Amino acid sequence: MRMIALAGASLLLALTACGNESGAGASLTGKSYLSTAVSENGQPKQLAPKTRVRLQFTDDGRLVADAGCNSMQSKVSTSDGKLTLKGELASTAMGCPGPQQGQDAWLSKILSAKPTWKLDGSKLDVTSGSTTISLLDRETAEPAVALDGTKWSLSSVITGETASHQAGSEQAWLTLNGERVTGSTGCNDFQGMVARTAGTLTFGELATTRRACAGDAAKLETTLLSGLKGEVTYKVDGNTLQLRSSANGLDFTSAR
């Protein structure tokens, strides 16, 4: 397992707007934002191909961000129209192609510099020095993928306040269709029944094939199957499926 301790593991932040264009009651609680444009010194800045800046805000005061590769996060204050980190901006440690690795460092520097923010309806501007990142509410920029019929690939494992990307997780996936769930741990296939209510999935016992798994594959299988046991809450945010239990959580993404 490759892992760096994070200041918080849930994805999203309670942000009460102060001195913004939307008024004193504006809030970003439970919202995610995707970049639509970036400018530096008044000129457009091109991000690495097929990447966008993502900012997610949680109702317990955490900022989770990425620029196309690693996820970084910290508790944050939003008073006085600034994003002020309340601790180290911690990151996952996935290897990324050169341009994306540099983009991670670029975003980290901006978020660590107490950038100002301005909310105008569904539009959010984050500015540090001569750099402005313009973003749009994710529900507008990238409508949610359907829960059913989508192949969801495992992207992160959440344990307490730690997020990790486990070796081989890109081979693990699941698909939900009504009352059935099928998928793969990356080593064995599985299937079973799942009941649902608003915001909740309840997994029955999952049947798996019986290939012997060793090393990282065995660890990943144990982690995945334990996260698909009993009642979990779920949320689809754009192309991300978040599953959470009282002990841990799993994040999946779709290729759209």
Highest mean pLDDT among 19-23, 41-45, 56-60, 157-161: 41-45
Domain count of the fold of the chain: 2
Domain membership flag for residue 6: yes
What's the pLDDT at 156? 83
**pLDDT over 60 (residue 82):** yes
Question: Domain range spanning residue 105?
Answer: 2-141
CA distances from 220 to 45, 83, 156, 167 (A): 39, 36, 11, 8
Domain membership flag for residue 215: yes
**pLDDT over 50 (residue 15):** no
How sure is the predictor about 29, in pLDDT bands with cuts at 50, 70 and 90? low
Joined together, the tokens standing for residue 183 give 């998928």
Q: What is the mean pLDDT of residues 18-42?
A: 70
**pLDDT over 80 (residue 9):** no
Task: Point out the least confidently predicted range of 21-35, 122-136, 187-201.
Answer: 21-35
Domain membership flag for residue 146: no
**pLDDT over 90 (residue 19):** no
What's the pLDDT at 191? 97
CA distances from 204 to 23, 128, 229 (A): 47, 49, 7
State the DSSP H helix or E strand holding residue 127, giving kind and residue range, or none if neither.
strand 123-128
Regarding whether 130 and 45 lie in a shared domain, the answer is: yes
pTM of the prediction? 0.56
What's the pLDDT at 211? 95
CA distances from 248 to 159, 190, 197 (A): 5, 20, 20
What's the pLDDT at 246? 80
Regarding whether 185 and 111 lie in a shared domain, the answer is: no
How sure is the predictor about 248, in pLDDT bands with cuts at 50, 70 and 90? confident
Domain membership flag for residue 147: no
* Residue 247, domain CATH: 2.40.128.270
Encode pLDDT of 129-177 as tens digits.
999 999 999 878 877 789 999 999 998 888 776 667 777 777 899 999 9
Rounded Cα distance, 179 and 188, in Å: 21
- Show Cβ contacts of residue 54 under 8 Å, excluding neighbours closer than 6 positions: 32, 33, 34, 35, 65, 66, 67, 138
Regarding whether 197 and 114 lie in a shared domain, the answer is: no
Encode pLDDT of 88-113 as tens digits.
888 877 777 677 778 988 999 999 99
